[in-house]
Amino acid sequence: MQKVITIDGPSASGKGTIAARVAATLGWAYLDSGSLYRLTALHAKQNQITWTDETAIAQLAATLPVEFAGQTVLLAGNDASQTIRSEHIGMGASAVAKLPAVRSALLQRQRDFLTEQGLVADGRDMGSIVFPEAQLKIFLTASAQIRAERRAKQINVPLSGCEFEQILADIEARDEADKNRPVAPLRQLPDAKLLDTSNLGIEETVAQVLAWYEKSK
Ligand code: CDP
Ligand code: CDP
């Protein structure tokens, strides 16, 4: 068994927030695997490479000039922490993540995040491909409406009106794209625990993950 907790689930279900908090509480390392796909999409865009060019993008992914420094992520020396969070780059991440050569280019890079202390890893194939022997696997979810509200709050958009409707539509579109793709589709693994956070706050969610971890020891 690996000293790893994996957290997967749809967009804005709280994966990043919960994974980072659990890692901080346990004193473990944290891997935001989605950021690597987002950085790959951004780097491709900056190099005028289309998100469907598998060979070129896999090459970029293998040599991604990225550095993580606390909350900041540098791409080729420039702070990309905010740029990679846009829904446009999210769609790009979803597109490049469909390409098998890109996934294998990022595989070892992700495994290198595991330290002796332990690792909390969030993202699609963490429990199935990257860390199949993880001690605890969580599938975090919430209704699309609640997830859209969380995203809207993050970027100060009112919770009604056309801007909000667009966020909701984007979330639903990415859910569909991620669920229906043949490579690493979004779904709950048979050995993952389901945690619906539609009516759960951040602290309660973290507490549930930690309780499951204690039990898994
Ligand atoms: O936070 P959110 O779910 O919106 O996105 P993310 O975790 O940053 O991931 C962005 C996109 O990258 C997702 O829609 C997935 O298609 C893809 N991804 C993946 O395929 N495998 C991972 N391990 C992480 C992300
Ligand atoms: O990583 P992912 O896209 O799954 O979600 P996130 O970026 O961690 O969370 C999206 C937003 O939802 C953040 O602003 C969190 O603070 C918020 N959130 C929440 O309000 N309640 C939760 N139980 C979990 C997250």
Same domain, 83 and 137: no
Please list, in sequence order, all residues whose beta carbon lies within 8 angstroms of the beta carbon of residue 1, skipping any fewer than 6 positions away. Answer: 133, 134, 135
Supply the pLDDT for residue 124. 86
Ligand 2 contacts (CB < 6 A) are 11-17, 150, 154, 197, 200-202, 205
Supply the pLDDT for residue 217. 87
Pairing of strands 66-69, 72-75: antiparallel
Supply the pLDDT for residue 71. 82
Ligand 1 contacts (CB < 6 A) are 11-12, 15-16, 33-34, 37-38, 90, 93-94, 97, 123-126, 174, 178, 184
pTM for the model: 0.94
Q: How far is the CA of 9 from the CAs of 39, 67, 71, 89, in angstroms?
A: 20, 25, 22, 18
CB atoms within 10 A of CB 151: 20
Supply the pLDDT for residue 87. 85
DSSP 85: G
Same domain, 157 and 184: yes
Same domain, 157 and 206: yes
DSSP 83: G
- Ligand in nearest proximity to the CA of 93: 1
Same domain, 184 and 104: no
Supply the pLDDT for residue 108. 92
Residues of the chain with pLDDT under 70: none
Same domain, 96 and 196: no
Examine the fold and report which residue of 81, 99, 114 is the final residue of a domain before the chain moves on: 114
Same domain, 42 and 125: no
Same domain, 67 and 156: no
ipTM: 0.95
CB atoms within 10 A of CB 193: 15
Examine the fold and report which residue of 66, 82, 114 is the final residue of a domain before the chain moves on: 114
CA 155 to centroid of ligand 1, rounded, Å: 19
Supply the pLDDT for residue 178. 87
Ligand 2, pocket-test mutation among 21, 140, 150, 186, most atoms within 8 A of CB: 150
Same domain, 104 and 53: yes
Supply the pLDDT for residue 184. 84
**Cβ atoms of 112 and 166 closer than 8 Å:** no
Same domain, 8 and 38: no
**Cβ atoms of 64 and 43 closer than 8 Å:** yes
Q: Identify the CATH number of the domain in which residue 75 sits.
A: 3.40.50.300
Q: Which domain holds residue 157?
A: 1-28+118-216
Same domain, 44 and 104: yes
Same domain, 123 and 203: yes
Examine the fold and report which residue of 114, 135, 157 is the final residue of a domain before the chain moves on: 114
Same domain, 24 and 102: no
Number of structural domains the chain divides into: 2
